[in-house]
C-alpha cells in the first residue's frame, strides 16, 4: 500500500510541471524616457516660415533660367534630391524631367555630343523617377567590338556617374551589368589619386548604391559634401541646412510623443519580463522610408505598430509557454474581447493594447 501511495503522489506531480521562463537579457536602452523627453530645438517651422519661403522661391527661379544648360539642370535636380529637398520642388523637377525625356525621345543622336557624366546622370535621374529609358543610351561610348572605349574610363566624374547609373540595371541589361564591374574596378584604382571631396564621394558610392541608403542620413552626409563643392549655390546650401534643422525639430517632437506613449503603457513594470525598449530605434526605421514633414502620422503610427509587434515577438520567442501561446493565438484569431479572460495576466495587458491600437488604426 505504501508503494502505491508513493507512486500515486509522484504521478500527480508529473501533471503539474513548473513553467520555466526564459529571458532575452535585453540591455537598458541608451535612449531613455527622460533623455527623449528633454529633446528640444529652436528650429520651429513657424519661426522660419518666411525665410524658407524666400529661399524656395530663389531656387525655383533657377528652373526658369533659359540660359541654364542641359547638364546644369540635371546637376541641380540631383543636388536638390541628395540634399533632402526633393519634396519642396516636386512640380519643378517633374516638369524639367518631362522636357528632358521628351527631347531624348525626339533626338536619339543628341547624347553623342554629351559627356559620359551627363549621359549617365540623365539615365539615373530618369529611371529613378520611373521614365522609360533604354541602356542603349550608352552605345556611343563603346567601340565597334562592343567594348567601352578606354578613354572614357579615365574621366573620374563620368565613371562615378556611370557606376551610380549601373546600380539601377534591370535583369537582362548587359551593357549596365558590364559597366557595373568596369566602373568599380576603375574607381578602386583611381580613388587614391583624386582630390579629397571627390574621393569621399567615390568611397561612398562604392560602399552602397544610392537607392539603398536612408534618404535623411544621405541628406546630412551630402550637405557637408555640397558645402565644399566648387560652384555650389549659396541659396541652396542655406535652404538645405535650414530645412534639415526644421525637420529635425519635427522628428524630435514625434519621438517625444512616442516615448511618452510607450512610458504610459507601463509594459516594463507590469508584464513581469524583460522586453525590448527600443522606441528610438523603431522610429529611426520609419525615417528611412518617409522623413518628410507631411508623413508625421505615418511615422508615429508605424512606430507604434513596430513596438507592439516586437512585444508579441518576445512573448512568443522568449517568455510564453506552449499552452499560453496556444491560448494567445486562439484569442488573436478570434479577435474577441471575451477571449482575453482565458489568458494569463501578462498576456491580457498586451492583447488589450494591441486590440485598442488596431481599432485606432482602422478609424484613422
Q: What is the pLDDT of residues 267-282, one digit of tens each?
A: 877 776 777 888 999 9
Query: Looking at the predicted structure, is the pLDDT value of residue 51 above 80?
Result: yes
| Same domain, residue pair 155 and 220 | yes
- Residue 254, domain member (yes or no): yes
Domain count, the chain: 2
Q: Which of 226, 321, 310 is nearest to 276 (CA)?
A: 310
| Same domain, residue pair 290 and 350 | yes
Which range among 48-62, 92-106, 159-173, 227-241 shows the weakest confidence by mean pLDDT?
92-106
| Same domain, residue pair 193 and 267 | no
For residues 58-75, average pLDDT: 89
Q: How far apart are CA 20 and CA 26, in angstroms?
A: 18
82-91, 100-109, 336-345: range with highest mean pLDDT: 82-91
Question: Bridge partners of 325?
Answer: none
Residue-range definition of the domain harbouring residue 181: 49-232
pLDDT in the model for residue 105: 67
Query: Looking at the predicted structure, is the pLDDT value of residue 359 above 60?
Result: no
CATH of the domain at 293: 1.10.600.10
Return the SS3 of 277: coil
List, in sequence order, the alpha helices (H) in 228-278: 234-265, 267-270
| Same domain, residue pair 55 and 146 | yes
Query: Looking at the predicted structure, is the pLDDT value of residue 56 above 70?
Result: yes
Query: Looking at the predicted structure, is the pLDDT value of residue 112 above 60?
Result: no
- Residue 72, domain member (yes or no): yes
| Same domain, residue pair 181 and 250 | no
Give the predicted TM-score (pTM) of the model: 0.84
- Residue 24, domain member (yes or no): no
pLDDT in the model for residue 261: 94
Pairs from 30-39 (Cβ < 8 Å, separation ≥ 24): 31/259, 31/278, 31/279, 31/280, 31/281, 33/259, 33/260, 33/262, 33/263, 36/255, 36/256, 36/259, 36/279, 36/280, 37/256, 37/259, 37/260, 39/252, 39/255, 39/256
| Same domain, residue pair 102 and 200 | yes
pLDDT in the model for residue 124: 97
Domain boundary among 232, 254, 272: 232
| Same domain, residue pair 208 and 298 | no
Q: Is 283 exposed, middle or buried (0-12, 13-18, 19+ CB in 10 A)?
A: buried
- Residue 240, domain member (yes or no): no
Phi, psi of 26 (to 5 degrees): -65, 135
| Same domain, residue pair 204 and 310 | no
- Residue 136, domain member (yes or no): yes
Q: Is 72 exposed, middle or buried (0-12, 13-18, 19+ CB in 10 A)?
A: middle
pLDDT tens digits for 155-206?
A: 999 999 999 999 999 999 999 999 999 999 999 999 888 888 899 999 999 9
Return the SS3 of 142: strand
CATH of the domain at 193: 1.50.10.130
Please compute Rg for the chain using Cα positions: 29
Which range among 97-111, 148-162, 251-265 shows the weakest confidence by mean pLDDT?
97-111
- Residue 80, domain member (yes or no): yes
Pairs from 218-225 (Cβ < 8 Å, separation ≥ 24): 218/82, 218/84, 219/82, 219/83, 219/84, 219/244, 220/84, 220/244, 222/82, 222/83, 222/84, 223/83, 225/197, 225/200, 225/201
For all residues of the chain together, what is the average pLDDT? 85
Q: How far apart are CA 181 and CA 173, in angstroms?
A: 13
- Residue 174, domain member (yes or no): yes
- Residue 20, domain member (yes or no): no
| Same domain, residue pair 185 and 281 | no
DSSP 316: I
Name 259's Cβ contacts closer than 8 Å, sequence gap at least 6: 31, 33, 36, 37, 279, 280
Query: Looking at the predicted structure, is the pLDDT value of residue 285 above 90?
Result: yes
List, in sequence order, the alpha helices (H) in the chain: 2-14, 33-37, 49-63, 70-82, 90-106, 116-128, 156-166, 174-190, 196-207, 215-227, 234-265, 267-270, 279-287, 296-314, 322-334, 345-363
| Same domain, residue pair 119 and 221 | yes
Amino acid at each position: 500500500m505504501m508503494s502505491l501511495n508513493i507512486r500515486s503522489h509522484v504521478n500527480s506531480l508529473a501533471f503539474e510541471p513548473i513553467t520555466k521562463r526564459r529571458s532575452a537579457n535585453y540591455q537598458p536602452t541608451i535612449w531613455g524616457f527622460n533623455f527623449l523627453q528633454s529633446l528640444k530645438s529652436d528650429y520651429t517651422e513657424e519661426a522660419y516660415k518666411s525665410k524658407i519661403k524666400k529661399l524656395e522661391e530663389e531656387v525655383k527661379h533657377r528652373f526658369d533660367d533659359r540660359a541654364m544648360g542641359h547638364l546644369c539642370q540635371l546637376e541641380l535636380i540631383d543636388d536638390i534630391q541628395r540634399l533632402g529637398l526633393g519634396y519642396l520642388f516636386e512640380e519643378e523637377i517633374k516638369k524639367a524631367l518631362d522636357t528632358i525625356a521628351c527631347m531624348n525621345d525626339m533626338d536619339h543622336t543628341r547624347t553623342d555630343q554629351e559627356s559620359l557624366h551627363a549621359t549617365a546622370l540623365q539615365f539615373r535621374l530618369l529611371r529613378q523617377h520611373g521614365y522609360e529609358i533604354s541602356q542603349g543610351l550608352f552605345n556611343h561610348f563603346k567601340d565597334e567590338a562592343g567594348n567601352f572605349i578606354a578613354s572614357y574610363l579615365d574621366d573620374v566624374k563620368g565613371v562615378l556617374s556611370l557606376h551610380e547609373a549601373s546600380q539601377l540595371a534591370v535583369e537582362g541589361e548587359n551593357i549596365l551589368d558590364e559597366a557595373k564591374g568596369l566602373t568599380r574596378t576603375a574607381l578602386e584604382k583611381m580613388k587614391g589619386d583624386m582630390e579629397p571631396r571627390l574621393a569621399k564621394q567615390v568611397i561612398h558610392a562604392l560602399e552602397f548604391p544610392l537607392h539603398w541608403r536612408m534618404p535623411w542620413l544621405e541628406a546630412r552626409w551630402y550637405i557637408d559634401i555640397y558645402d565644399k563643392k566648387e560652384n555650389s549655390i549659396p541659396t541652396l546650401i542655406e535652404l538645405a541646412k535650414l530645412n534639415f534643422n526644421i525637420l529635425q525639430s519635427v522628428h524630435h517632437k514625434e519621438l517625444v510623443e512616442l516615448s511618452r506613449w510607450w512610458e504610459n503603457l507601463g509594459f516594463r513594470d507590469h508584464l513581469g519580463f524583460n522586453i525590448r525598449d527600443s522606441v528610438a530605434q523603431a522610429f529611426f526605421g520609419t525615417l528611412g522610408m518617409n522623413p518628410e514633414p507631411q508623413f508625421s502620422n505615418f511615422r508615429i503610427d508605424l512606430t507604434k505598430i513596430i513596438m507592439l509587434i516586437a512585444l508579441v515577438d518576445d512573448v512568443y520567442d522568449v517568455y510564453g509557454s506552449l499552452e499560453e501561446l496556444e491560448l494567445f493565438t486562439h484569442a488573436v484569431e478570434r479577435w474577441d474581447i471575451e477571449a482575453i479572460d482565458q489568458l494569463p495576466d501578462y498576456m491580457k495587458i498586451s492583447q488589450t493594447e494591441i486590440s485598442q491600437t488596431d481599432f485606432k488604426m482602422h478609424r484613422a
